Amino acid sequence: MALDKATVARIATLARIKVADADLDKMVGELQTIISWVEQLDAVDTKGVEPMTSAVEVTLPMREDKVSDGGYVAQIVANAPEPVVVGEGAFFTVPKVVE
Amino acid sequence: MLIDGKTGTWELVIGLEVHAQVTSKAKLFSGADTVFGAEPNTQVSFVDAAFPGMLPVINRFCVEQAVKTGLGLGAEINLVSIFDRKNYFYADLPAGYQISQYTRPVVGKGTLVLDMPDGQSRTVGITRLHLEQDAGKSLHDQHPTKTYVDLNRSGVALMEIVSEPDLRSPEEAGAYLKKLRAILRYLGTCDGNMEEGSMRCDANVSVRKQGSKELGTRCEIKNVNSVRFVMQAIEYEANRQVELIEEGGTVQQETRLFDSGKGVTRSMRSKEHAHDYRYFPDPDLLPLVLDEKWVAGLKAALPELPDTKRERFIKDFKLSPYDASVLVAEKEQAEYFEAVAQGRKDPKLAANWVMSELFAVLNRQNLDIARSPVKATALAGLLDLIENNTISGRIAKDVFAEMVESGKDAAAIVEQKGLKQVTDTGAIEKAVDDVIAANADKVEQIKAGKVQLIGWFVGQVMKGTGGKANPGMVNEILKKKLGI
């Protein structure tokens, strides 16, 4: 897969990472190197092989449907800038997002 | 529905995506509470707020609910499914991604049968059902320059149920939502409450010339929160697209919002990049593997669903397809009717009373059937009195009104107010004679051939007896005495 500048700029926008135009060429090169390295795996024939999801024999652990967590609003908003306390609860606040 | 445009006739193609909140005590991947209406951020765990290093652990019951719903829709259950991350940035999505299912959902293709008001039914394809997390809630109207964020809903389990683009009118879309809601409520997997947001709908709408096989470009109308609004939004959007195309424009594939106040849809520009979600398998979660026997056990334990119940009502109680559809639309309603109709000679009488008298009272008092002032056993008691000729149907309406008021049972009211039907021939004959004597002119007319006046005579006799005379006997005696 060959990357171009426009694709890298779009990936940066989607990831909310600011990349200066001047840095884009360098970034294209770096990402291209990473992708090419991973693409070596394409050389392996995996036809008929189940995708491996874990290196150990484990299945997805499950929880019972019981309320066992939450109820600590102070800790949830502890690091938030300008939380607004309402009754027993508190809101996070962010700059207005308007549709 | 077809739209007659300037250049020809247009057909609508509609697909619906419904987000149904799974009924469960705790969230999909955390142990926090899901009860609606709690104070902000009081039902949030570190997982739901995406604190660094926190790991999701799936709630077994939420999986069970999704599988039950799939079975209720007659759908394939995928014994292996995968959770993926759907990446986007929004203030009420603390992780920056939503855990969802993309390439391998837990439930595959199924079907849903629509009952249309004209008694017809139509089968609509279900594409898939997958499990995912809900986001938090943003409040934009609390402060002039800030948005408030409450994460209580963050992490609550949702089932996204996607239909095939099989719907052709706003009415069909409405019928689809009502039917889906009924099935979810019968199964107990979602409470279907659209006002509280536990069922939300996105509609994909496109138009094409009638007879065309190709699909037009579609627009997605997001987050419409009532059946009526979904229908309005579709109708507006379809007309907008036809006008646009006929004036030489092209429909842009985009996300639109429905403004229920103005009844219009408008473009939602801020989500320009939103369709590039960069899904990838969530490395925190292993594949969800289901045991075939466990699925079979859930299937065997499914309750009777609306379609089966409807067929049974038609067969066992001789109801019309329309009446049966109305009665099975809500589980509690169907159970109420069945309790009243059970073992009755004339089950249609039960259907009529439930659908007219009872529904009128519930509507007026804005109650659901579970909180009906007249319980099923009490209504059955009243109908018993009609069936064994203790009271007439007319008196029964008065007794019913009294039952609604006082909560007393029918027999007690009839006894107390002396409302027992008069079946004594002598008493009825006397009442008939009185009416005939007082209305010589009308007697002339009826004898001259204006036989429809008999209804008026019956009415007078009933009035004279305080409605207590047996109408059948009144009719018979009148005919005999008038010689008609």
DSSP B77-116: BPSEE--EEEE---TT-TTSEEEE--SS-SB--EEEEEE-
Cα gap B98→B453, rounded to integer Å = 73
pLDDT at B390 over 90: no
Q: Nearest 5°: CA angle at B213, between B212 and B218?
A: 90
The verdict on B279 and B337 lying in the same domain is no
Contact between B41 and A92 using a beta-carbon 8 Å cutoff: yes
Considering B297, B314, B332, which residue would you say is the last residue of a domain? B297
Nearest by CB: A65 against B48, B59, B144: B59
Nearest by CB: B31 against A13, A68, A99: A68
Q: Is residue A12 part of a domain?
A: yes
The verdict on B177 and B138 lying in the same domain is yes
Q: Does A79 touch chain B (CB under 8 A)?
A: no
What mean pLDDT do residues B238-250 have? 95
Cα gap B8→B10, rounded to integer Å = 7
Q: Which residues of B touch A88 (CB under 8 A)?
A: 39, 42
pLDDT at B244 over 60: yes
Nearest by CB: B41 against A10, A64, A73: A73
The verdict on B159 and B288 lying in the same domain is yes
Q: Does A31 touch chain B (CB under 8 A)?
A: no
Cα gap B369→B363, rounded to integer Å = 10
Other residues' Cβ atoms within 10 Å of the Cβ of residue B42: 20
The verdict on B293 and B322 lying in the same domain is no
Predicted local distance difference test score (pLDDT) of residue B434? 86
* Residue of chain A whose Cα is closest to the Cα of B33: A67
Chain B interface, mutation test: which of A16, A56, A58, A97, most B Cβ atoms within 10 Å? Answer: A97
Residue B468 sits in a domain of what CATH number? 1.10.10.410
Higher pLDDT, B473 or B315: B315
Q: Which residues of A touch B280 (CB under 8 A)?
A: none
Q: Is residue A97 part of a domain?
A: no
Query: Are B385 and B365 contacting, i.e. CB atoms less than 8 angstroms apart?
Result: no
Other residues' Cβ atoms within 10 Å of the Cβ of residue B38: 18
pLDDT at B436 over 90: no
Min Cα distance A12 → chain B (Å) is: 12
The verdict on B100 and B25 lying in the same domain is yes
DSSP tag of A60: -
Nearest by CB: B91 against A13, A94, A99: A94
Q: Which residues of B touch A91 (CB under 8 A)?
A: 40-41, 139, 142, 148-150
Domain that holds residue B143: 2-297
Min Cα distance B140 → chain A (Å) is: 7
What interface predicted TM-score (ipTM) does this complex get?
A: 0.90
What mean pLDDT do residues B144-155 have? 96
The verdict on B473 and B405 lying in the same domain is no
Predicted local distance difference test score (pLDDT) of residue B270? 54
> pTM of the predicted model, to two decimals?
0.85
Q: Does A70 touch chain B (CB under 8 A)?
A: yes
Question: Comparing C-alpha atoms, which of B320, B318, B400 is closest to residue B360?
Answer: B400
Work out the pLDDT band at B351, boundaries 50, 70, 90: very high
Question: Comparing C-alpha atoms, which of B130, B220, B122 is closest to residue B176?
Answer: B122
Contact between B26 and A71 using a beta-carbon 8 Å cutoff: no
What mean pLDDT do residues A56-80 have? 94
The verdict on B316 and B285 lying in the same domain is no
Q: Which residue has the tokens 């009211």?
A: B413
Nearest by CB: B89 against A16, A73, A96: A16
Query: Are B168 and B122 contacting, i.e. CB atoms less than 8 angstroms apart?
Result: no
Considering its fold, how many domains does chain A have in total? 1
Q: Does A81 touch chain B (CB under 8 A)?
A: no
Considering B297, B323, B341, which residue would you say is the last residue of a domain? B297
Work out the pLDDT band at B274, boundaries 50, 70, 90: low
Q: Is residue A11 part of a domain?
A: yes
What mean pLDDT do residues B378-389 have? 89
Q: Which residue has the tokens 């898939």?
A: B128
Higher pLDDT, B423 or B409: B409
Question: Comparing C-alpha atoms, which of B183, B184, B178, B177 is closest to residue B202?
Answer: B177
- Residues facing residue B264 across a β-bridge: B259
Question: Comparing C-alpha atoms, which of B180, B54, B55 is closest to residue B114?
Answer: B180
Q: Is residue A26 part of a domain?
A: yes
What mean pLDDT do residues B384-399 have? 85
The verdict on B453 and B409 lying in the same domain is no
Q: Which residues of B touch A75 (CB under 8 A)?
A: 46
Work out the pLDDT band at B271, boundaries 50, 70, 90: low
Cα gap B1→B173, rounded to integer Å = 11
Other residues' Cβ atoms within 10 Å of the Cβ of residue B169: 18
Min Cα distance A95 → chain B (Å) is: 5
Considering its fold, how many domains does chain B have in total? 3
Q: Which residues of B touch A53 (CB under 8 A)?
A: 281, 286-287
Min Cα distance B271 → chain A (Å) is: 9
Cα gap B193→B225, rounded to integer Å = 9
Domain that holds residue A13: 5-42
Q: Is residue A56 part of a domain?
A: no
The verdict on B289 and B359 lying in the same domain is no
Work out the pLDDT band at B273, boundaries 50, 70, 90: low
Contact between B287 and A53 using a beta-carbon 8 Å cutoff: yes
The pair phi, psi for residue A12, each rounded to 5°, is: -65, -40
DSSP tag of B253: P
Query: Are B44 and B154 contacting, i.e. CB atoms less than 8 angstroms apart?
Result: yes
Nearest by CB: B286 against A16, A53, A94: A53
